[in-house]
A and B are shown apart, each in its own frame.
Chain A
């Protein structure tokens, strides 16, 4: 791969920027609570709507809460919803996709029917129904997101597994007496996982944005949790007096989108075996 970070930065600047941004977000998400100068939900009405200063890096909102602290705390939530749900979806979706693609045809038909059925529900409507049923919470939101991502990834893996199943090398492996588990795990998985990783990487920012959107509609994370979407939403109310709140709420979403997208593209180049060992 790359000998050093500076080597990486020189050869693949976009990927490097992506990695830096993602690392930054991960860092903020993991240690945000310790780094934050103020408690994210601490209300301090006298100092409401303060402009950015050394004391309040991104100003304060209409309840006097420190926006920078809320952004930092929000990254943990964004990561939980973006990265954890996408990660879980990748694992479950890949396993289901491998089974559907390599297993017997009847199992494939059943799984495909399930994938297609869940896939055909409109996101927001099903979201409304689920939130009504279970009440708005982070768990409901994560479940909703996974309900949509798992079939998408499973279908992606299934189709590449079907292609790989017919490949000569699979027949060659079977001719050596390799078991199905062995063929799937060691040989088919690395050949089909690439596209899923890339799509998943690009999905992370979309999910973070979706969370913001659903939160805006009142379907997402309930207040006072400091989600980026909520900061953005609350900021719109005072956009004339304090435009920095909207900027501060939008900036991490933009940075996360760019970071994960750049990283995704870099990974795509890296995971394509035809490009390995070249460069």
Chain B
């Protein structure tokens, strides 16, 4: 098994204070390994982005880590002061955001962005930084990179801007690259290109990639390991093949069955999971998915299921799945 780049151990994050608090993450454990792309799937509000922000030490001020550890390498970054976190951001962990139209400063040129991304390197001269910027643009597939440096973000297409954002994230040579829904704002053709790029980068960067998406197709295409989130909990984790071919958790199964790409022929109705993702303000008394689960039993409603590790990197949080195996 390859080196652990980052890991989250029993992490719980809450926004605000009781009684209006929101328990955005509850006892989540996850390990990210070098050379792997780990996918995170879940509906909006399932805690995917909170997890990403926790990993890069950018949780908003209203958020508190109530328990658990966030480890980058061997260092626990939960509760570190801002100055120490800043040393990690962009150097050991980098992030690419969802919307490439707004993730670049409108009044800076592409070159300005890429030079800024190297702000830690005070030793190299401007021309060396520029050369490196051109190099990294070429690596992410931007045509005619030298000419792009003087252009402004609004002169580039969405796909090109997203490549620039990825280039910026790569310049710090991070061990962990977080891609938070980076293809959601792009059309399918561009999405395919960006996914292809990420797959190429996996072997190139000496580290892990965390790929957050609600597009199961994208997850299936590029991820090695998949973690399924629901309402702030990790409900199932496993190698990509297992998650898609033999899901254990009813939620994973329902999610898979709702993927439009799986529906054959012309369907009149898109399948959906009845009910809504709950906003969790107090620790649940049963399985968090029970109200929407078609298989829920009395046990599910009254007892909180514990995480059951089935194999290395494979586990589920469900009474039924555990009793079955």
Contacts and interface: CB of A to CB of B under 8 A. Distances in A.
- Say whether A associates with B: yes
Nearest to B180: A175
Interface in A162-189: 167-169, 171-179, 182, 186-187
A277 B105 contact: no
A192 to B, nearest CB: 9
A273 interface: yes
Interface residues of A, number: 21
A190 interface: yes
Most buried by B among A169, A175, A274: A175
Contacts of A169: 102-106
A140 to B, nearest CB: 38
A51 B325 CA distance: 110
Contacts of B103: 168-169, 172
A210 to B, nearest CB: 32
Given A173-B116, A177-B172, A178-B90, A187 B105 contact: yes
Nearest to A271: B107
A276 interface: yes
A273 B117 contact: no
A191 interface: yes
A191 B107 contact: yes
A105 to B, nearest CB: 9
B95 A175 contact: yes
B314 interface: no
Contacts of B98: 168
Contacts of B165: 172
B87 interface: yes
A177 B117 CA distance: 9
A274 B107 CA distance: 8
Contacts of B56: 175
Interface in A256-279: 273-274, 276-277
A178 B119 contact: yes
A255 to B, nearest CB: 32
B116 A177 contact: no
Given A175-B94, A176-B89, A273-B152, A167 B58 contact: no
A171 B172 contact: no
Nearest to B120: A177
Given A176-B117, A179-B86, A182-B119, A273 B106 contact: yes
A171 B56 CA distance: 11
B105 A175 contact: no
Interface of A: 167-169, 171-179, 182, 186-187, 190-191, 273-274, 276-277
15 contacts: A168-B97, A168-B99, A168-B102, A169-B105, A172-B103, A172-B104, A175-B94, A175-B97, A175-B169, A176-B89, A176-B119, A176-B168, A176-B172, A186-B108, A186-B112
> Which 8 pairs from chain A and chain B are nearest by CB?
A176-B90, A177-B90, A177-B89, A168-B102, A190-B107, A175-B95, A273-B107, A169-B105
